[in-house]
Amino acid sequence: MESFEYSIRIDRYWLSVKQHWLTALAVFLTVFGTIVLVASLKKPTYIAEGAIRLQKKNMTSSVTGLGKEIGNLEPLTQTGNPLITEAEVIRSTGVVQATIKRLQLKDKKGKLLKPKEFLKGLTVTHVKESDILAISYKDTNPKTAAEVVNTLIAVYLERNISFNRSEAASVRKFIEKQLPKAEVVVREAEAELAQFKEKNKVVSLQEEAIRAVEVIGELQKQMNEALSQAADIEVQSKEIRNKLGMDSQQAVIMTSLSQISGVQDILKEIQQLESQLAIRRTVLQDTHPEIIGLEDKLSSLQGILQQRIKQVAGTTQLKPNRNFQLGQLQQQLSAKLVELESARLGFTSQAAALSKLQAEYKQRLNTLPRLEQQQRQLERRVQAAQSTYSLLLQKLQESRIAENQNVGNASMMSEAIVPEEPISSAMLSYLAAGLLATLATLATIYLLEAKDKSIKTVDEAKELLGLTVLGVIPSFSKSKTSIPSKAELESDSQRLVMRDFPRSPISEAYRMLRANLKFMSADKELKVIVVTSSVPKEGKSTVAANLATAMAQMEHKVLLIDADLHRPIQHKIWELNNTQGLSNVIVGQAEVKTAISNVMNNLDILTAGVVPPSPASLLDSRKMAGLIENFAATYDFVIIDAPSLTLAADAATLGQMADGVLLVVRPGVVDSVNAAVAIELLEKSGQNVLGQVVNGVIPNKERHGYYYFLEEYKLQDSVEQVKSANA
């Protein structure tokens, strides 16, 4: 579809060129000659060329690795090209003005050359697939051209080095401001880490965690052993306590008492007194003084015994009648019980101490992850601070070295030499003249086309009017490429092709029109057809006459009415007398039968008659409507030749009485404005527009010129032969 539309546009342009070729040729020759003449009067121009090479990094930075980030040629965008950026730097106002001042370049008025004028002769291009910029300058003085290029390169190289050094200086100043701050941050981070280690007694948390796990395991093992031994001793102690009937404390007291002579002596005396008291009670009563004396003595000895027991055992809870005399075996068992009890207490205390120590290690071990996390954070902070500080120190050194460098990213590749010969401007002048002349020619054609509102082709008529094309009638004109003149239009309007040349291609076009009208009336037969046009001179009368003839040749009874009461033409076409016609019949000055003329088999003509002062009032009358009804009943077809739509409203009036309106359009005669007005008038009046007939078509000016065979041009020879015979 796009290629089809493109083809249509090309065809339209080509038709426009063919139509205005004479004017276009005059414009082309004028512009071309003027430009060539002006170019020949100009002074010869010389071009001096030089080149510079750009590097992404300067050689010193690449070799030493110092300051390599400074002055790098890097684009800001992914699609950017740093070479193009540097080319714009060369064209910048600063570089250009410095070059102008050094060379004291002046214009024709003796003033320093302006940058805009300088840039007109300067060209900076990027050599493809290389890191080279080619610089050229045009001037009428060859020496000046070479000096400009070399000076421009020198200024650019100086500015490149200066820019890199200034960039390095800016970096150095920034680092010098940041370095003390970074040092303070390092000190604060290190002090905070040291304070953390001192507060939490941290040496190596990882090793401490490993050691703590080992110690906790060892302590658990020792604690289990101590508890096991304490349990074993407890079993032995229980057995001995059962045998002695006393606990270890009592066993210690009894052993001590059995080994004290004072206690044993009193025990012996008490035993003796008890024996005497028992013997004397056998013979004496308890109230006897001797019995009472023995009891008092026994009581005294028992008191003394209690005091001595208290001194030894620290308590008087022992029964006074208890046997405080132990045997050797009992003493050994008591000693063993005491020994075992002491051992049990020792192991129990050891287990408790081990458990406490183990709890302390576990508590420390539980706090180690948190301490380790805090330590890592502090160490990272110290490491980051130290890294930043070290980096700043390194960059400070690099920036100082880079600041002292006199090497940039660019170097002169080739120096401009004074050109010996001017540039060959003849061919360039011809090419430029041809290009500008072509553009001027195209612009002229465009303006002429924009100014010319006339419809030129069948496609334009179809596109503009939006009506179905029912017929395309070729032109009679001998000229196959130009619009026919008014004289030719007048001559064409008087030709009856269907009668005089029935076998011509034009006659076939009218037969096609007749067939198309027949196809349109499949449901309702079209009997009364009004033929009109947008403006005069479009050949509507010729179309109406030949269409009526074509219908009559099909043995249909046809009436052709000339209803153009402004400019009647049918009587001239058919060479009839116009003293009586339609106007006379409407006003009653003539009868219909006497006004109608038979011109050929099945074809009658009703001429316009005398031109009345008010044609519209006659045509828009009941008499006219009645006539059309009678004609429609009498004839098979009634063809009405109506005035042009822009000339009068008669065609719209007659269209209301007819079955349909046929609009004749002639390219080169009607313009788009009048055609649009005609279509609007038909739409507003509610006409049944059957379609359009494009008349007077020049085949060579149409996109589909193959529609019209070359045989139609043979018609011209037939016309000449007829004229010769008549002569």
How far is 51 from 28, CA to CA, in rounded Å? 40
Q: Between residues 612 and 298, which one has the greater pLDDT? A: 612
Least confident of 155-164, 267-276, 603-612: 267-276
C-alpha angle 241-247-249 in degrees, rounded to nearest 5:
145
Residue 484 pLDDT level (bands cut at 50, 70, 90): very low
> Mean pLDDT, to the nearest integer, of 54-79?
54
Q: Domains of the chain: which residue ranges? A: 35-173+412-426, 209-374, 454-726
Predicted pLDDT of residue 199: 79
For residue 4, pLDDT beyond 60: no
Predicted pLDDT of residue 609: 92
Choose from 26-35, 462-471, 619-628 the range with maximum mean pLDDT. 619-628
For residue 97, pLDDT beyond 80: yes
Predicted pLDDT of residue 89: 87
For residue 608, pLDDT beyond 50: yes
Residue 487 pLDDT level (bands cut at 50, 70, 90): very low
How far is 530 from 519, CA to CA, in rounded Å? 17
Pick the CATH number of 454-726 from 1.20.950.20, 2.120.10.80, 3.40.50.300, 3.30.70.20: 3.40.50.300
Residue 395 pLDDT level (bands cut at 50, 70, 90): confident
Q: Between residues 604 and 69, which one has the greater pLDDT? A: 604
Predicted pLDDT of residue 640: 95
Residue 479 pLDDT level (bands cut at 50, 70, 90): very low
For residue 204, pLDDT beyond 80: no
Contact in structure between 191 and 385 (CB atoms under 8 Å): no
Choose from 184-188, 286-290, 558-562 the range with maximum mean pLDDT. 558-562
Spell 633-646 as b/e; 16+ CB within 10 A means b: eebbbbbbbbbbbb
For residue 577, pLDDT beyond 60: yes
Taking only the tens place, the pLDDT of each residue in 623-667 is 999 999 999 999 999 999 999 988 888 888 898 999 999 999 998
Least confident of 113-117, 440-444, 556-560, 579-583: 440-444
For residue 321, pLDDT beyond 70: no
Residue 533 pLDDT level (bands cut at 50, 70, 90): very high
If we measure between CA atoms, which residue out of 322, 490, 336, 429 comes closest to residue 44? 429
Q: Between residues 536 and 159, which one has the greater pLDDT? A: 536
Predicted pLDDT of residue 521: 63
Predicted pLDDT of residue 405: 66
Q: Say what percent of the chain tops pLDDT 90.
A: 15
Q: Are strands 469-474 and 122-126 parallel, antiparallel or unpaired?
A: unpaired
Cβ-based neighbours of 443, under 8 Å, separated by 6 or more = none
For residue 365, pLDDT beyond 60: yes
How far is 66 from 251, CA to CA, in rounded Å? 93
Predicted pLDDT of residue 211: 77
- DSSP tag of 577: -
> Mean pLDDT, to the nearest integer, of 127-154?
86
For residue 462, pLDDT beyond 90: no
Q: Between residues 362 and 245, which one has the greater pLDDT? A: 362
Burial, 398: exposed, middle or buried (Cβ in 10 Å; 0-12, 13-18, 19+)?
Answer: buried
For residue 1, pLDDT beyond 70: no
> How high is the mean pLDDT of the chain?
77
Q: Which two tokens stand for residue 470?
A: 């029912």
For residue 677, pLDDT beyond 50: yes
| E strand map for 524-625 | 528-533, 558-562, 596-600, 603-606
> Mean pLDDT, to the nearest integer, of 703-708?
46
| E strand map for 36-139 | 46-54, 122-126, 132-139
Decide if domain 35-173+412-426 falls under CATH 3.40.50.
no
Strand, coil or helix: 176:
helix
> Mean pLDDT, to the nearest integer, of 610-614?
88
